[in-house]
Every structure is written in structure tokens, then in C-alpha cells.
Amino acid sequence: MVDKKRKLFKKIKKEKVLFLTAVASAFVILYTLALLLAPQKVELLYFRNNNCELVHNTDGIIGEAVQKFGDKIDVRTIDAQLYPTDPEDTAEIRQLREKYNVIGLPDIIINGEKFTKQFTGDNLFAEICNEFIVKPEAC
């Protein structure tokens, strides 16, 4: 009788382990599918000022990024005060500048992190690609 109970207990324990393993595997598969199927966008905050000569080059790089990545990136361009004669920043812009420590212009924030490399197309595109879980064709 004791032997039968032990065998039954082992069988139940083995089936329980198999069941839990199957549930865990299903969860991993569903999570992976959700990541793969979920639309992902990289968000850029682009702080600029028309009176800055560097901005004209950076504008071109941002334009190339929009062409290259299309709807995979969301670029928000923020015209910010650079010189005393420029219009003052709005409260929202001041808050964003403080949050991301934006002092000089141009400046780019990618998914909440300051872009610290040299402003070149290659550097920016590589950084954008690094943000994707599933790399788009442009990467």
C-alpha cells in the first residue's frame, strides 16, 4: 500500500512539473510574440534654434532619419531659446530642458536619454537602431 502511494505521488509530482514547464514555456512564447508583433517607435526630442548655424546641418540629419525610418520614429521638434533676443521658452519647454539638462543647442533626446555622440547621420542612425527590440529594415 505504501509503495502504491509512493508511485502515485511520484507520478503526480512528475505530471505537475511537466504542467508547470508547459505553462512557463507558453508564457515565454506569448511574451516573445507580443514583443515581435507590438508596434515599436523610437521617440526623439530635437531641441533646436533657427539662429544657430549648427542647426541647419542637424535639421538635415533629422530629415534623413525621418526618411530612413518613416513611421518607426516619432520626432518632436522643439524650438528653444538660445540667445537673449529669442522668444522665451514656454513653461513646458523650460521643464523639458531642465529634465534632460538641455543647455546648448542643438540637442537630441532619444527615448528619454541624451544623445551624446557627435551629430552625424551614421551616429544618430546607429543609436536609433540600438533602441529597437526588433530591428526594422532600415537598420
Say what the pTM is. Answer: 0.74
pLDDT digit string (tens) for 42-86?
A: 999 999 999 999 899 999 999 999 999 999 999 999 999 999 999
Architecture of domain 42-131: 3-Layer(aba) Sandwich (3.40)
Q: What is the mean pLDDT of residues 112-132?
A: 96
Domain residue limits, the chain: 1-38, 42-131
- DSSP codes of every residue in 119-134: --HHHHHHHHHHH-SS
CB 58 within 8 A of CB 115: no
Average confidence (pLDDT) over 95-112: 97
Short-list 103, 30, 130, 112, CA closest to 76:
112
Task: Indicate the average pLDDT of the chain.
Answer: 86
Per the model's pLDDT, the better-predicted residue between 7 and 131 turns out to be: 131
- As given in the structure block, the three cell numbers for residue 74 are 516619432
User: Over 90: is that where the pLDDT of 18 sits?
Assistant: no
pLDDT of residue 134: 86
Q: Nearest-CA neighbor of 112 among 42, 40, 35?
A: 42
